[in-house]
Amino acid sequence: MSTNVVMPQMGESVTEGTITSWFKQPGDWVDKDDSLLLITTDKVDAEVPSPASGYLQKVLFPEGETVEIDTVIAVLSADKSDASDGPAEAPKAAPEPSKDAEQDAPESQKPAPALAAVGSSANSGGTVTELRRSRSSPLVRRMAEEHNVDINAISGTGISGRVTKKDFLNYLENKPAAPASRPTPAAAAAPRTADAGRYAYQPVASDRIEPFTPMRKSIADHMVISRDTSVHVTTVFEIDMTRVAKLRASHKAAYAQKGVKLSFMPFILKAVTDGIAQYPTMNSAIVDRSIAYRQEVNLGMAVAVDWGLLVPVIRNADEKSILGLARSVSDMAERARERKLSPDELQGGTFTVTNPGVFGSLFGTPIINQPQVAILCVGTIT
């Protein structure tokens, strides 16, 4: 009896994952719920447990491969004799029709031009605009191919500007009629963004090349998208933390007895929730030409990890005491560094706090975590 291992969906908006490492090799025995592989998405790094006990029969995709969700990536078998000696080849794409066959086919039977699936590989290229609009679900990309629609022409309302199924259907309903045939105009001048290519660095033989990890690539894409989405204005204040430092010092021992490390962060988060209560615009989002005031106060807390940056979310932070916030901070920071956060714990934030001050930074100018409208940067406390 065989059991398929599929690429899981690590979050509502996640459509693919990159296989970072396999913990088992073909022929190895695996117990149910043992960690089988590590995957990376634009939301989280996560270990995937084995769905059943058995021998790892086949590995269908190697490390470094980006795979769509629900795709079979490995096979388990109860019989060790079924195990493969090595990774099986990934499914191959169907061969393209020959040019002669395409020319002989009637016009109505000629294949429509395929649209490139952006984001199918950790090293896929494209401009930020293309990434913003084309990073959609496989369903939407398939619909675009069937209707011969350029997905870049559709304004996306999904996370990070993704084109949703609803966006696509609305586009089809309101699509203007094709204009009458006209003489082909002269080619338009290349967009200004093309000038950026002249400043691209050309590596030399002595350089050491390290490809972006999926997380680093996602962070870079989202930062540029956020910069292009919101006008960023930074204001710097100097705060006297003397009283907070004394209060923290007087309670550290009592909190430690409860298994909680009391840092400055819970006090800062409490100040943020009090400030949001007074200035609710800081806990809002922009919808078209309107302001959506968020009723929940879910604070994102940036956590630096060895492989990147994670922003776990403390939900309903305004309802927590200093002790409750301290427990949440300790728990989420620890689980972030141990790769034990679920995708749901990294979504739904309404305001973010980042703390580069722990590295000695006096202050910083962070990028807003879209679709939020503001972010607080905490500098070093002396």
pLDDT of residue 89: 47
Question: Structure tokens of 184?
Answer: 């082909």
Q: Which of helix, strand or coil describes residue 292?
A: strand
Per DSSP, 126 falls in state -
Provide φ and ψ at 58, rounded to 5°.
Answer: -140, 140
- Count CA atoms within 13 Å of residue 171 on its CB side: 20
Mean pLDDT for the chain overall? 80
Question: Structure tokens of 107?
Answer: 């016009």
Candidates 107, 67, 83; CA nearest to 28 is 83
pLDDT of residue 196: 56
pLDDT of residue 166: 72
pLDDT of residue 334: 92
For 84-136, the pLDDT digits (tens) are: 544 444 444 444 444 444 444 444 444 433 333 333 333 344 455 555 444 56
For 342-370, the pLDDT digits (tens) are: 878 988 999 999 999 988 899 899 999 99
Per DSSP, 369 falls in state -
For 27-72, the pLDDT digits (tens) are: 999 999 898 998 887 667 788 889 999 999 999 999 888 888 889 9
Count the neighbouring beta carbons within 10 Å of the beta carbon of residue 20: 19
d(CA 159, CA 372): 12
Cβ-in-10-Å burial (0-12, 13-18, 19+) of 362 comes to exposed
pLDDT of residue 87: 46
Cβ-in-10-Å burial (0-12, 13-18, 19+) of 186 comes to exposed
Domains of the chain: 2-82 (2.40.50.100), 112-175+214-229 (4.10.320.10), 233-377 (3.30.559.10)
pLDDT of residue 136: 61
Cβ-in-10-Å burial (0-12, 13-18, 19+) of 236 comes to exposed
d(CA 216, CA 40): 11
Which is more confident, 212 or 141? 212
pLDDT of residue 137: 60
For 155-211, the pLDDT digits (tens) are: 777 655 667 767 777 787 777 655 545 555 555 544 555 555 667 888 999 999 998
pLDDT of residue 142: 66
Cα-Cα-Cα-Cα torsion 225, 304, 350, 263, nearest 10 degrees, comes to: -150
Q: What is the pTM of this model?
A: 0.60
Which are the contacts of 148, defined by CB distance < 8 A and separation ≥ 6?
112, 113
Asked if 154 contacts 167 with a C-beta cutoff of 8 angstroms, the reply is yes
Q: Which of helix, strand or coil describes residue 276?
A: helix
Distances (CA, A) of 218 to 12, 118, 138, 225, 310: 16, 13, 18, 10, 12
For 257-308, the pLDDT digits (tens) are: 999 999 999 999 999 999 999 999 999 999 988 999 999 999 999 998 888 8
pLDDT of residue 54: 93
pLDDT of residue 99: 45
